[in-house]
């Protein structure tokens, strides 16, 4: 079975920028996997870190179930995501378990370090999928088929210096938006926290606004997610584009970015 994995930093990150793509793949018979690298323990102005971990773990599992994806547990706490060997070996094991040929992750440029560190870890862990001399923790068998890494749009659709990030391609999420919205709503604890910490008003409305903004950039889809494809060298023999092959009419190359 063809398999895809989404690896993002915090509980609810996947729902903001990648859940629609996972759902489109799921509808086409792909096995999908869902992983938040961090517990999300700092994401509350109400609960203790320990309670926040428990609440956000339950919310993440519920969201993954709504998306029909296999859930993989977190590796560390918020603001502790580091590009280091311990995390890399553990993430390598997760990718090997998934047998993913598509890896979805954060943009290399984003507004916070947790996102960018997760991106680096996901890229290198994907690179190790066929390296038997790199030992994952726990040990997992390698696999040899090609892997393609795709980077999601950053929050704000720009880099940390406010320069716009332009997608290479768009996924039409209009038909799966209701499920994407329900999965985001499963992260109930985030309503108050995002209002307090980032002034996002309703996090549900913020996600919808981002989906509309990316859809507008596509000049075709009403609601969309944007992606940039990582260089294939070291990941696949040729410059393949499996999302394009899988999604057909719901995938649109951004000619303006070429």
User: Given this model, what pLDDT does residue 201 score?
Assistant: 53
Q: Are 43 and 56 in contact (CB under 8 A)?
A: yes
Whole-model pTM above 0.85?
yes
> At 49, is the secondary structure helix, strand, or coil?
helix
pLDDT band at 43 (very low <50, low <70, confident <90, very high): confident
For residue 201, is it left (φ>0), alpha (ψ between -120 and 50) or beta? left
User: Given this model, what pLDDT does residue 197 score?
Assistant: 60
Q: Tens digits of per-residue pLDDT, 94-123? A: 999 999 999 999 999 999 999 999 999 999
- How is residue 229 annotated by DSSP? E
∠ Cα 10 49 113 (to 5°):
35
| Domain chopping of the chain, boundaries | 3-257
For residue 248, is it left (φ>0), alpha (ψ between -120 and 50) or beta? left
User: Given this model, what pLDDT does residue 205 score?
Assistant: 87
Fold topology of 3-257: Rossmann fold (3.40.50)
Range name among 45-54, 97-106, 116-125, 237-246 with the lowest pLDDT average: 45-54
Q: Are 49 and 41 in contact (CB under 8 A)?
A: yes
User: Given this model, what pLDDT does residue 196 score?
Assistant: 62
Range name among 6-15, 51-60, 146-155, 187-196 with the lowest pLDDT average: 187-196
User: Given this model, what pLDDT does residue 194 score?
Assistant: 64
Does 55 have pLDDT greater than 90? yes
Q: Tens digits of per-residue pLDDT, 186-238? A: 998 887 666 666 655 578 888 999 999 999 999 999 999 999 999 999 999 99
Does 18 have pLDDT greater than 80? yes
Determine the Cα–Cα distance for residues 43 and 21; give it in Å rounded to an integer. Answer: 25
């Amino acid at each position: 079975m063809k398999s895809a994995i989404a690896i993002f930093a915090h509980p609810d990150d996947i729902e903001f920028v990648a859940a629609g793509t996972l759902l489109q793949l799921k509808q086409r018979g792909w096995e999908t996997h869902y992983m938040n690298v961090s517990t999300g323990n700092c994401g509350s102005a109400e609960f203790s870190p320990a309670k926040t971990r428990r609440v956000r773990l339950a919310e993440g599992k519920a969201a993954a179930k709504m998306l029909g994806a296999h859930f993989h547990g977190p590796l560390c706490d918020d603001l502790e995501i580091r590009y280091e060997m311990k995390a890399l070996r553990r993430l390598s094991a997760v990718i090997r378990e998934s047998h993913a040929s598509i890896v979805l992750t954060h943009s290399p440029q984003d507004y916070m370090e947790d996102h960018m560190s997760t991106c680096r870890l996901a890229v290198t862990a994907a690179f190790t999928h066929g390296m038997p001399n790199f030992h994952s923790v726990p040990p997992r068998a390698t696999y040899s088929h090609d892997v393609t890494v795709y980077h999601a749009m950053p929050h704000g659709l720009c880099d940390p210096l406010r320069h716009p990030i332009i997608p290479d391609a768009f996924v039409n999420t209009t038909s799966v938006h209701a499920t994407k919205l329900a999965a985001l709503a499963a992260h109930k604890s985030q309503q108050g926290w995002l209002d307090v910490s980032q002034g996002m008003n309703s996090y549900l409305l913020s996600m919808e606004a981002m989906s509309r903004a990316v859809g507008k950039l596509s000049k075709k889809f009403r609601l969309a997610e944007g992606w940039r494809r990582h260089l294939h060298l070291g990941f696949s023999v040729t410059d393949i584009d499996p999302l394009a092959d899988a999604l057909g009419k719901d995938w649109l190359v951004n000619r303006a970015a070429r």
